[in-house]
Amino acid sequence: MRSNKNIILVLAVAAAVSSCSVRKPEVSPKVSDINTGSYIDKYKDLAISEMKRTGIPASITLAQGMIESDYGRSRLAVQANNHFGIKCHNDWKGPTITHHDDKRNECFRKYRKAEESYYDHSDFLKSGSRYKFLFDLDRTDYKGWARGLKKAGYATNPDYANMLIRKIEENELWKYDKPGKYIADVKQKADSEQVVPDNQVAEIQVAKAVRQGGDQFVVPSKVSRIMENNRIQYIIVGDGETLADIEKEFSMLKWELARYNELEPGFNVIPGQILYLQPKRDKAEPGKEVHIVTNADRMYSISQKYGIKVKKLYEYNRMKDGDEPSQGDKIWLRTMKPVS
Domains of the chain plus CATH, in order, are: 2-181 (1.10.530.10), 203-332 (no CATH)
Residue-averaged pLDDT of the chain:
79
Indicate if the alpha-carbon torsion angle 283, 129, 156, 65 is positive or negative.
positive
Percent of the chain residues past pLDDT 90, beyond the cut: 43
Distance CA 238, CA 321 (A): 31
302-314 pLDDT, tens per residue? 999 999 999 999 9
Indicate if the alpha-carbon torsion angle 98, 101, 106, 111 is positive or negative.
negative
Rg (CA), the chain: 23
82-95 pLDDT, tens per residue? 999 898 888 788 89
130-153 pLDDT, tens per residue? 999 999 998 889 999 999 999 999
pLDDT-based confidence at 34, cuts 50/70/90? low
Distance CA 192, CA 257 (A): 15
Furthest-apart CA pair in the chain: how many Å? 89
Residue pair 314/299 in contact (Cβ under 8 Å)? The answer is yes
- Single-letter amino acid, residue 38: S
pLDDT-based confidence at 105, cuts 50/70/90? confident
pLDDT at residue 271 in the model:
86
DSSP at 174: G
pTM of the entire predicted model: 0.51
pLDDT at residue 179 in the model:
67
Q: Which residues are registered as beta bridge partners of 281?
A: 308
pLDDT at residue 193 in the model:
45
Residue pair 256/48 in contact (Cβ under 8 Å)? The answer is no
pLDDT at residue 20 above 80?
no
